[in-house]
Amino acid sequence: MTITADPAREARIRDLSRAHVMTSWSAQRAIDPLPLAGGEGAYFWDHQGRRFLDFTSQLVNVNIGYQHPRLSAAIAEAAGRLTTVAPAFAEESRAEAAALIAGVAPEGLNKVFFTNGGAEANENALRMARAHTGRHTVLAAYRSYHGATAAAITLTGEPRRWGATPGMPGVVHFWGPHLYRSEFGASSEQEEGERALRHLRHTVEAEGPHQVAAIFLETVVGSNGILVPPPGYLDGVRELCDEYGILLVLDEVMAGFGRTGAWFALDHWGVRPDLITFAKGVNSGYVPLGGVVISDEIAATFDDRPFPGGLTYSGHALATASAVAAITIMREEGIVEHAAEVGRRSLGPAAEALTGVSDLVGDVRGLGVFWVAELVADRQTREPADAATMKAVHAACVARGMWPLAVANRVHLVPPCVISHEDATRGVDILAEALREVAG
């Protein structure tokens, strides 16, 4: 694809954005968003003609890559057929998308409630859990992000929830496993998992098991550090839920649809939740779409009583048509399998080698195309790298043609699932060069 510079257009976009666009999670005078002009595969480019290897997947959602021709064509075809259908009607792409999504979920999760994104998916999963159990209390982890709508931001355990307090009543937070920054004084993954499970059990008992409707977990924690659960942890949570009649809700909004090298991250551990929330990778964000995959037991609750919720755009025809196309493409082109192979052969090994590149790198972890390098000021104390260091690392990567995702003191390595082995290695090599430059 030919990339041409158009500085006048860039200037116009900047001016309009400054005047009229309120950018999320930002102090408006402190930012100057880069206007993008296009993208293809694992690359995007700007109006100056600069092309960047994308290690962000935008917000970890462009799993299938930019401008996949078959997916774009499917959206155009659907727009020419019927653009929108209210939830009270049945529609072909909505039915097909639900069947395809249920087809990659664990056995016994056969129905899908569609939403416009991940936050709304978690909102509705919470409502389903309370309605099904007749209980009110819900548990969620401190190191978590479940969305920015009212209930979802209350479920969220990290600092972004602070601006929305006081939140919805009935949500209690607990510490999940994270060996590098253990809350339990653990010295091994096994010990961390066992102590985290003991802490969770104590939290449930302190809140009254008969009061707890659900435990919400990101299967692999995303925004808060790509935290892969230790062996046995998810099984232990499932057993605890079964013991007390509590529902297990796994948030796969970021981790699902190929990101970890599996259709759902839960596939790595063989755990069957009661509800799965999804969005992002289901159609690579080409059209807003999310939803809840519902177990047969919970779905039966609403056979003869109405589900108390709904959205005008639930199961929007363009969005579900894009999901049908995206899932079909991922199957036919082996994208999930490719993501797993990239994690094993190129991205994962290159990322793990970063610990030998610079003393700035304290820890590296991940799977599939879902990796993170945690940067520190001191390896012994594990003091997080400061904002100036992170800004310098980001700028050094951009100057070399790779756009990283910097979050807190971490660089998240989350390229599109279609990235080549060569580009995956090259992107990490650029980060290594940036780290050397910043470390002096």
Residuewise pLDDT in 10s, the chain (440 residues): 688 899 999 999 999 999 999 999 999 999 999 999 999 999 999 999 999 999 999 999 999 999 999 999 999 999 999 999 999 999 999 999 999 999 999 999 999 999 999 999 999 999 999 999 999 999 999 999 999 999 999 999 999 999 999 999 999 999 999 999 999 999 999 999 999 999 999 999 999 999 999 999 999 999 999 999 999 999 999 999 999 999 999 999 999 999 999 999 999 999 999 999 999 999 999 999 999 999 999 999 999 999 999 999 999 999 999 999 999 999 999 999 999 999 999 999 999 999 999 999 999 999 999 999 999 999 999 999 999 999 999 999 999 999 999 999 999 999 999 999 999 999 999 999 999 999 98
Check residue 440 and give its pLDDT.
Answer: 84
Residues, the chain: 440
- Tokens read off for 281: 């990778």
Tokens at residue 124, please? Answer: 């509705």
pLDDT at residue 97, as a whole number: 98
One-letter amino acid at 69 equals P
CB 25 within 8 A of CB 223: no
Burial of residue 168 (number of CB atoms within 10 Å: 0-12, 13-18, 19+): middle
Q: What is the gyration radius of the CA atoms in the chain, in angstroms?
A: 22
48-75 in b/e burial notation, b at 16+ Cβ within 10 A?
Answer: eeebbbbbbbbebbbbbbbebeebeebb
8 A C-beta contact, residue 307 and residue 161: no
Q: What do you get for the CA distance between the two ends of the chain, in Å? A: 37
Q: Which domains does the chain have, with CATH numbers?
A: 7-67+335-439 (3.90.1150.10), 70-332 (3.40.640.10)
Question: Can you tell me the distance from the alpha carbon of 419 to that of 348, in angstroms, rounded to the nearest whole number?
Answer: 13
In whole angstroms, what is the distance from residue 150 CA to residue 9 CA?
37
Q: Residue 438 has what pLDDT?
A: 96
Q: What CA–CA distance (Å, rounded) separates 88 from 74?
A: 24
Distance, in Å, from the CA atom of 14 to the CA atom of 170, rounded to the nearest integer, reads 43
Identity of residue 235: D
What span, in angstroms and rounded, lies between the C-alpha atoms of 312 and 115? 9
CB 278 within 8 A of CB 294: no
Catalogue the E-assigned strands of 131-264: 137-141, 171-174, 212-218, 247-251
CB 351 within 8 A of CB 345: no
Distance CA(291)–CA(115), nearest Å, equals 5
Is 43 strand, coil or helix? strand
To the nearest 10°, the Cα dihedral for 181, 425, 403, 279? -70
Any residues with CB less than 8 A from the CB of 156 and at least 6 apart, and which? 140, 144, 145, 146, 147, 148
Cα–Cα distance between 224 and 320 in angstroms, integer? 29
**Closest to 325 measured CA to CA, from 105, 84, 121, 79:** 79
Where are the strands (E) in 103-211, listed by range?
A: 109-115, 137-141, 171-174
Nearest to 405 by CA among 366, 432, 371, 439: 371
DSSP count for the chain of H helices, then E strands: 14, 15
- Is the CB of residue 214 less than 8 Å from the CB of residue 220? no
Helix extents (H) in 208-334: 233-244, 296-301, 317-332
Type of residue at 322: S
What share of residues in the chain are helix, strand, coil (percent, to 5)?
45, 20, 35
